[in-house]
């Protein structure tokens, strides 16, 4: 049996019919074709599937799609409106925060949530905010540096 689901993803309204056991991750990737959100562990351990749900970082692999009816979801695709890289994405590239890239979407989503809450985070705050995201390649140093660099750039832009 399938049930109707209406949700907003990256500001776009969608209506789909889904089975009650389907995860938000599965619906995003399969029904909506938004494959930037990755499936890693399927157990809320790695953060590759991180999305913003009403502005809060959420592991979409462990969240039932039917629970998001009428709510706002933002995926990594929604972080670059008009197809241009934002300060956070540029900083990840310039600071070497991307290696294999599998964790990058979740890292970007978690870092976005942090920077929306705290305009000038400390290194400790960045590390805490990224605590739910695993990276097997970088050792985190470049990722943390990228988030700090982006926060400085965003702060400088806000002061103009």
* Residue 149 in tokens: 């660099």
Provide the 8-state DSSP code for 69. T
The closest of 52, 73, 130, 125 to 97, measured between CA atoms, is 130
Whether 160 has a pLDDT exceeding 50, the answer reads no
pLDDT at 138: 84
pLDDT at 148: 98
| Residue range 63-79, pLDDT digits in tens | 999 999 999 999 999 99
* Residue ranges per structural domain of the chain: 3-79, 81-158
* Residue 87 in tokens: 């300060």
Could you tell me which residues are beta bridge partners of residue 16? 5
Class of domain 3-79: alpha beta
Whether 82 has a pLDDT exceeding 90, the answer reads no
* Residue 68 in tokens: 């998001």
| Residue range 28-54, pLDDT digits in tens | 999 999 999 999 998 899 999 999 999
| Residue range 117-133, pLDDT digits in tens | 999 999 999 999 999 99
Report the topology of domain 81-158: DNA polymerase; domain 1 (1.10.150)
pTM of the model: 0.94
């Amino acid at each position: 049996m399938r049930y109707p689901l209406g949700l907003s993803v990256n500001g776009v309204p969608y209506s789909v019919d889904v089975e009650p056991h389907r995860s938000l991750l599965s619906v995003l990737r399969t029904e909506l074709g938004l494959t930037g959100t990755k499936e890693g562990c399927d157990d809320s351990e790695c953060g590759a599937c991180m999305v913003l749900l009403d502005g809060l970082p959420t592991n979409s692999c462990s969240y039932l799609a039917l629970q998001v009816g009428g709510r706002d979801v933002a995926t990594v695709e929604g972080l670059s409106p008009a197809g241009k890289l934002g300060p956070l994405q540029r900083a990840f590239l310039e600071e070497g925060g991307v290696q294999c890239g599998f964790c990058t979407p979740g890292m970007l989503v978690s870092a976005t949530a942090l920077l929306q809450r705290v305009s000038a985070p400390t290194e400790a705050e960045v590390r805490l905010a990224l605590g739910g995201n695993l990276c097997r390649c970088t050792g985190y140093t470049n990722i943390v540096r990228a988030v700090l660099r982006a926060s400085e750039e965003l702060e400088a832009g806000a002061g103009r």
